[in-house]
Amino acid sequence: MGERGTAISFEDFQGTRNFTALDGLRAVSVFLVFSDHFGGIGWTRFSGWLGVHAFFVLSGFLITTLLLRERDSTGRVSLKAFYIRRATRLLPLYLLVFLAVLGLSHVAHNGTWEQMKAAAPYYLTLLNEMANVAPLHMTWTLGVEWKYYLVWPTLLVVFGTTLRSGLATVGFCLVALAMIGIGGFHWDLLLPQNYVGMLFGSALALLMNSRRTFALVRGLMTHGAAIALVLALLLVHRRFPLIAGRIGDASAIAVYSLLIAMLIPALIATRTWIARTLASKPLAFVGHRSYAMYLVQYVAAHTVIALLPGSTIVGGTLLFLSFAVALLLSDQLYRWFEKPITDWGHRWAKAVKQAALSKTPLPGCEAAAALQPGGNRSPL
C-alpha cells in the first residue's frame, strides 16, 4: 500500500469514535513513567518521565475533539456535561487510591503518615503540585490536567469554538506561557512547560475538526512521517539532557510535546504501521488501565518489595514486576470500579445535555443541520 493510501478522509475521521491506537500510546507512556521511577540508572537515562507530557498532549486533543463534536452535533457546548464526564472519570478512582494510601501509610510506621497528613490538603483540593514529597507525589499531573479542564473549555465557550477563534485562543495562551517563562516565574502551581502539550493537542483537534485544515494534517498520515517522528521522539528521549542543555528544559519539553502532537494523525490513520502496532489488543488493554496503573504504581512497587524480602529487587526486575502487579490491580479496579462509574457519568452527562436541548431549541439553521444525516460533520 502506497504512502497516499494510508491517510483517511475527513469524513472517516469524523465518523470514528474510538481511536484505539491512542490507547496503545497511553500504554507506552505509562511504561515509560514506570521505567523512570523503578528501572534504575539504566532506564532513567532514557528520560521516561517525558511520558507524562505525552499524556498531556493526548488529554488536550481528546477533550477538545469531544467538545468540538458536541458543538457540531448540538450547536453548543455543555460545560456542565463536560465536567460531569471528567469528574466521574478521574475523581472517584483518585479518591479511592488516596484513601487506600492514607490508610496504608497510617499502619506503616515509617514516616509516610506524616508526609500524607501534610500533603492531604493539597491532594484533596487538586493542588497536588504544591505538596511536598509524599507517597502520591506523582499525582501532580492530575492537578495540572484538572486546571486545564477548568480553564480551556471555558475559554472556548467564551471566545468561540470556530477554527479561527480557537487557534487564536491557543496562540494567546502560548504567548502568555512564554512570557511567564521568560519572566522567570517559577511557582509550582503554574510551570508553563506543563501546559504547552495540552495546548498543542487542542490546536491539533481544532485543525482536524475543520475540513479546510484537515488536508494539512493528512500529510502526517504516512508511513514515512510516522517513522521520522518515532525516530525523532527516540532521539529526544535518549538525548534529552543534551538537548535541554542547549535550548532549556521548557523548550525541550515543548519540542517533545509538538512531536507527540504531530504523531497523533499517523495513529488515527489506522493503516499506518505504527497505528496497527499500537492498536494491538495487548497494548490497548494496558492503555485502558493506564490511569489506574499510574495511580497505583508505588503501591505495586512496595508490594513487590514486601513479597520478596531478602531479594535484590533493583533495575529491570523491579520495573517489570511492579508493572505486572500494577496491571493486575488496575484491571480489577477498571472492571469493578473505574469503568462502571465512568459509564454512569456518561449517561448522566447525556441526560443533562438532552434536558438542556429540550428546554432551549437550537437556532433554526443549526437545528435543521443537526437533524439531517451527517449534520454533525459540517465544516467550520
Q: Which of 189, 167, 171, 188 has its CA nearest to residue 179?
A: 171
The identity of residue 175, as a single letter, is V
Which amino acid is it at 209? N
pLDDT higher than threshold 50 for residue 380 = no
Q: Which of 105-109, 177-181, 188-192, 256-260 has the least mean pLDDT?
A: 188-192
Distance CA 264, CA 68 (A): 17
In this prediction, residue 365 has a pLDDT band, given cuts at 50, 70 and 90, of very low
Rounded (10°) angle between helices 140-159 and 51-74: 30
- Give the Cα separation of 355 and 265 in Å (integer): 35
Alpha helices in 162-314 (DSSP H): 163-182, 193-208, 211-218, 223-247, 249-268, 273-278, 281-288, 290-307
Which residues lie below 8 Å from residue 286, measured CB to CB, with a gap of 6+? 26, 27, 30, 31, 293, 327
Q: Is the pLDDT of residue 369 over 60?
A: no
User: What integer pLDDT is reported at residue 183 of this predicted model?
Assistant: 60
Residue 378 clears pLDDT 80, i.e. is over it? no
pTM for the whole structure: 0.91
The whole-number pLDDT of residue 368 equals 37
C-alpha span between 364 and 380 (Å, rounded)? 17
For the chain, the structural domain boundaries read: 16-360
H/E stretch holding 121 reads helix 112-124
> At residue 375, does pLDDT exceed 50?
no
Cα gap 235→242, rounded to integer Å: 10
Mean pLDDT computed over 250-274:
94
| Residues 46, 52, 57, 62, Cα dihedral to 10° | 130
**Phi (first) and psi of residue 52, to 5 degrees:** -65, -30
CA 50 to chain centre: 12
Q: End-to-end distance of the chain based on CA atoms, in angstroms?
A: 32
**Which residue in 57, 95, 28, 107 sits closest to 265, CA to CA?**
57
Q: What angle do CA 95, 97, 98 make, to 5 degrees?
A: 60
User: What cell does 365 get?
Assistant: 439553521
Contacts 24+ apart (CB under 8 A), 138-142: 138/33, 138/37, 138/294, 138/297, 138/298, 139/94, 139/295, 141/52, 141/55, 141/56, 141/294, 142/90, 142/94
pLDDT digits (tens, 9 = 90+) for 28-56: 999 999 999 999 888 999 999 999 999 99
Give the contacts of 128 (CB within 8 A, at least 6 positions apart).
122, 136, 137, 139, 140, 141, 142, 143
pLDDT digits (tens, 9 = 90+) for 60-70: 999 999 999 99
- Give the C-alpha distances (Å, rounded to integers) separating 187 from 17, 183, 372: 38, 12, 50
